[in-house]
Structure 1
Amino acid sequence: MSLEITTAPDVSTFERHGYLFGHPIAHSMSPLLHQTVYDNMGLNWSQIPLDSTDMNMFLSLIQHPSFYGASVTMPHKVAILKHLDGLTPEGRDVGAVNTLFIREDSNGKRLFMGTNTDVIGIRESFLRNASPESFQNRPALVIGGGGAARSAVYALRTWLNVGTIYLVNRDASEVQAVLDECTARGYGDSLVHVATEAQAEQLEGAGAIVACVPNFTPKTPEEQEARKVLEVFLQRKSHKGAILEMCYHPVPYTEIAEISRLAGWKVILGTEALIYQGLEQDRYWTGKETAELPAKQVQEVIAAKLSEAKL
């Protein structure tokens, strides 16, 4: 069922405005993150939540002269592609866009551009929280079969200097889709579907793991087998690396995070990826370099919000 926008949001009180466009988005910390950036930079800007599946209305709203860009989330990350004037390499190669930004051509015409900053969030989570020697030149592991898994493969292969990338998921057809798409886009080298516990036991240990699945206790045989595969890699005594747990809602500390911690791995919470992908978005929107943005204040605000959720 489509969720249409009946009235346009009031943007008259802001010098510039953007949107968080997706459904459902009630739990998203994106508007809070970006408002923290703008308030600390003295900008009268705001990102307005647009909980909707109404693509036509969104395309109409972004024509407003004070529109600066948008965070685009599910279910629009792929659907938005055909409406854009251009893509960055990240947006093109991942095949999904989470960020819309504006550029002008030589005649001053506004161009609607797309990029994928999820890959930057994953990259920075490892570079800022784990020692490179713990994951470089070692196999990596990605759990999941959706868009976040594709972003993880891209980030690991493009920037983090890992070897073979193992793919683990309860649904083999989803893994095959990831393999096919990554190969078609030029970064599918050395991807291996690890389907069973027995197969995992024969493989070299991983240094970086990215978990891109919801927080749940495995129930079906397929879910249980996927969890056993993960546990084989976590329990290896020869090397302990770093795991990024992308799931942070409703709580950032998941079952996977807990079993990883107990196994001696460095656990990086998904809020790290959230923060650095968000700061990368503001780099596109404000024109400021990431180092000029108030990262510390954003981290404090997000941490406070998470503390609230635990109460």
Structure 2
Amino acid sequence: MSAVGVDMSNAAPKPQTQLDRHGYLFGLKIQASMSPLFHKTIYSELGLRWEQKLFESADIPQFLQLIKDPNFYGASVTMPNKVSIMKHLDELTEECREVGACNTIFLKQDPATGARRYCGTNTDVVGIRESFYQNVANPDARFHDRPALVIGGGGAARSAVYALHKWMRATRIYLVNRDAAEVAAVIDECTAHGYGGERLVHVATPGEAERLEAPGAIVACVPDFSPRTPEEHTARAVIRTFLGKERKGCMLEMCYNPTPYTELGGLAEGEGWQVILGTEALIWQGLEQDKFWTGIEVKDLPIQKVSEVIAGRLSQISKL
């Protein structure tokens, strides 16, 4: 059990009249986020009168005041606050430090003073890892001890590189993106944190891709749109070259808004790849968050129920 101190001995559902505890989703452009629905489903199934509230802001001083509330249990942190919040926290996990971004704040109690400590972690990396291990029947045959491919150059790409390097036994990691400067930044930052160097390879042209061994795992970390600029067309041609190789693997398509059925996912499926929807990463990173907040192990959380709720919500969005 964590310092949050959830007692599950009397976990019968309670009427949702008055909240016992509350958390936040802290960031901008969060009105359409499924995070509050996700966590509400968990808490309802556990009989907890908890709620995740939206705090749509980049005002860190105000947020730091809000989380002093004695009924605060933790927060999800999204853009543009994932990096800037880190220096204000008392403690960071290894994942948080090495990825250089915090998407989750949880609480601990100082053993000496009893004071509350605000801790940061990054559950995105776990979401990526578990999306593969929960959906791929034979990792040894599909992606272990093979190269991997990351498409993109933002924060999600850094999380993907970390997960592939630390847990998924990638021998090398190819990086493909429309912006070479973003790729260079990813390589520099990952190398500075100890999981980059020569294992990270920027693949800039289809000819380069043709000469390389096929990846086993692909993580696509870009929005769902057709290429328009010359740089985007080149990046898409590189991806097509990898997808067309004889030996196939599995691809996690991180994009799920407005639909998880993306153009890239369709291309991969058409070439014989196993495609894992981005909602899997959403679910597994969210379960990891609730593990920190409630002190309940992921295996004991209502995984099936929350998966059904998210699938239903996505079905509604797709119809709209």
| Superposition TM-score tier, normalisation by shorter sequence | over 0.9
CA RMSD of aligned residues (A): 1.1
Name 2:10's counterpart in structure 1: none
Name 1:49's counterpart in structure 2: 54
Shift of 1:57: 1.1
Contact 1:169 1:226 (C-alpha < 8 Å) held by counterparts: yes
Shift of 1:13: 2.6
1:98-109 equivalences in 2 (<5 Å): 98-106=103-111, 107-109=113-115
Name 1:290's counterpart in structure 2: 298
Aligned partners of 2:250, 2:41: CA distance in 1, in Å? 29
1:153-168 equivalences in 2 (<5 Å): 153-168=161-176
* Aligned counterpart for 2:25 among listed residues 20, 28, 37: 20
- Residues 18-52 of structure 1: per-residue CA shift (max 9 Å, x gap): 00001010221110110000000000000001111
* Aligned counterpart for 1:225 among listed residues 224, 234, 252: 234
Structure 2 residue identity aligned to 1:203:
L
Aligned partners of 1:171, 1:297: CA distance in 2, in Å? 40
1:207-286 equivalences in 2 (<5 Å): 207-237=216-246, 239-286=247-294
Aligned partners of 2:205, 2:243: CA distance in 1, in Å? 15
* Aligned counterpart for 1:173 among listed residues 181, 187, 210: 181
- Residues 169-191 of structure 1: per-residue CA shift (max 9 Å, x gap): 00000000000000000001400
Contact 1:27 1:249 (C-alpha < 8 Å) held by counterparts: no
Q: Which moved more, 1:130-139 or 1:164-173?
A: 130-139
Contact 2:258 2:318 (C-alpha < 8 Å) held by counterparts: no
Aligned partners of 1:164, 1:54: CA distance in 2, in Å? 39
Secondary structure of 1:47 counterpart: strand
- Residues 177-233 of structure 1: per-residue CA shift (max 9 Å, x gap): 000000000001400000011111111101000000001100101000001101001
Count of matched residue positions in the alignment of Structure 1 and Structure 2: 300
TM-score, length of structure 1 as denominator length? 0.95
* Aligned counterpart for 2:120 among listed residues 103, 114, 126: 114
Secondary structure of 2:223 counterpart: coil
Aligned partners of 2:172, 2:87: CA distance in 1, in Å? 33
1:304 aligned onto 2:312: yes
Structure 2 residue identity aligned to 1:252:
P
* Aligned counterpart for 2:96 among listed residues 47, 71, 91: 91
Shift of 1:17: 0.5
Aligned partners of 2:110, 2:60: CA distance in 1, in Å? 24
Secondary structure of 2:120 counterpart: strand
Structure 2 residue identity aligned to 1:113:
C
Aligned partners of 2:236, 2:18: CA distance in 1, in Å? 50
- Runs of 4+ in structure 1 off by over 3 angstroms are none
* Aligned counterpart for 1:80 among listed residues 76, 79, 85: 85
Name 1:199's counterpart in structure 2: 208
- Residues 237-272 of structure 1: per-residue CA shift (max 9 Å, x gap): 2x1100000000011101001001101000000000
Structure 2 residue identity aligned to 1:45:
W
Report percent identity of matched pairs.
61
TM-score, length of structure 2 as denominator length? 0.92
Secondary structure of 2:258 counterpart: coil
Aligned partners of 1:35, 1:279: CA distance in 2, in Å? 12
Q: Which consecutive residues of structure 1, in runs of 5 or more, have no partner in the other structure?
A: 1-11
Secondary structure of 1:70 counterpart: strand
Aligned partners of 2:291, 2:299: CA distance in 1, in Å? 9
Structure 1 residue identity aligned to 2:155:
G
Aligned partners of 1:221, 1:13: CA distance in 2, in Å? 55
Name 1:70's counterpart in structure 2: 75
Structure 2 residue identity aligned to 1:68:
Y
